[in-house]
Amino acid sequence: MANALRSFQTNEVVQEHLPNSLGIGPAFHPTVAKMIKLFKVKEKQRELAENSNGKPPVKKQSAGELRLHKDISELNLPKTCSISFPNGKDDLMNFEVSIRPDDGYYLGGTFTFTFQISSIYPHEAPKVKCKTKVYHPNIDLDGNVCLNILREDWKPVLNINTIIYGLYHLFTEPNHEDPLNREAAAVLRDNPKMFESNVRRAMAGGYVGQTFFTRCI
């Protein structure tokens, strides 16, 4: 995977932030506080059910759910990123992350990613796809994402926070060296001004070549 993303492999990932040059800070997004409260409410409901006479206890959380609970409680995202749980409190293992880059080619766009967390997380990396069709060298038209920490460089010490910062990094520094969309990568490498024009056209809603992109700006 892209050499530019190797910085996300360290063992100190929980507290790391991207460099200041990316224009993001350590401030918590308001959604995170809501998610922490949601987890606490669910845990309290579980305890009450287990302690109620004559009522069967709810299903115990898997190791993956417990670890995800920890990850969410420790989220430290920039204001350009947000997390939501479209299926509600009963399905916390499937959620969405929206990224709104405030720098670079993709400035002003909104890009949504789906996360699927397995019961054996963190021993298996989350499955992440981009719901928003995007003209990008490292994201193909089916939403598959080329990010090293989601594949060969995944380690259990990594977490959701790390992945979200990695996804943000793809938009501030797209990489043509290890592409999923080879056509976009070639344009980025050979003609950056044309690449920028193609990105703006795609985000505004329109065709780039034979491919139509829905407006996301």
> Quick check: is 216 catalytic?
no
Q: Which of 28, 1, 3, 21 is nearest to 164 (CA)?
A: 28
Sheet with 111-116: strands ordered across: 81-84, 94-99, 111-116, 127-130
* Secondary structure in 3-state letters for the chain: CCHHHHHHHCCCHHHCCCCHHHCCCCCCCHHHHHHHHHHHHHHHHHHHHHHCCCCCCCCCCCHHHHHHHHHHHCCCCCCCEEEECCCCCCCCCEEEEEECCCCCCCCCCCEEEEEECCCCCCCCCCEEEECCCCCECCECCCCEECCHHHCCCCCCCCCHHHHHHHHHHHHHCCCCCCCCCHHHHHHHHHCHHHHHHHHHHHHHCEEECCEEECCCC
Catalytic residue among 81, 130, 146, 216: 146
Q: Please say whether the dihedral angle defined by the alpha carbons of residues 100, 37, 13 and 95, taken in this order, is positive or negative.
A: negative
Give catalytic residue positions.
Answer: 146
